[in-house]
Amino acid sequence: MSKTYKINWANVAENDLIEIIEYISIDRPADALKILQKIKKMASSLYSIPERGRVVPELQDQAILTYREIVIPPWRIIYRISDNDVYVLTVLDARRNVEDILLKRLAYNK
């Protein structure tokens, strides 16, 4: 039997997702729900094989290997694995200055 993980959303990740969906709904309300469902489904799929996500490149360059990501262009779901849990830490728009955001949010809060 394969190991399963519990998916936990950090408050900041939930807020990121709300901001993304609110922003999309301004111009494309019909797409907002689809995008929300797509992001939530992808994050939920980490319950079985969370290691499939890559180490976050911007953090790897800083020798920080704790955080992984899965990409749903243009969004990046950043998470970490701990025991039987997956912690979704942030959802970012990759068109923003991702390195600065990640270093501020994740690297200094290890």
- Note the pLDDT tens digit of each residue in 9-51: 999 999 999 999 999 999 999 999 999 999 999 999 999 999 9
pLDDT, position 103: 67
C-alpha 12/C-alpha 89 separation (Å) is 7
β-pair type (54-55, 6-9): unpaired
Written in H, E and C, the secondary structure of 14-56 is: HHHHHHHHHHHHHHCHHHHHHHHHHHHHHHHHHHCCHHHCEEC
- Report the Cα 109 to chain-centroid distance in Å: 16
CATH of domain 6-109: 3.30.2310.20
Number of CB atoms found within 10 A of residue 81's CB:
16
pTM over 0.85: yes
* pLDDT band at 90; cut points 50, 70, 90: very high
The per-residue pLDDT for 106 is 58
3-state secondary structure of 80: strand
The domain locations on the chain are 6-109
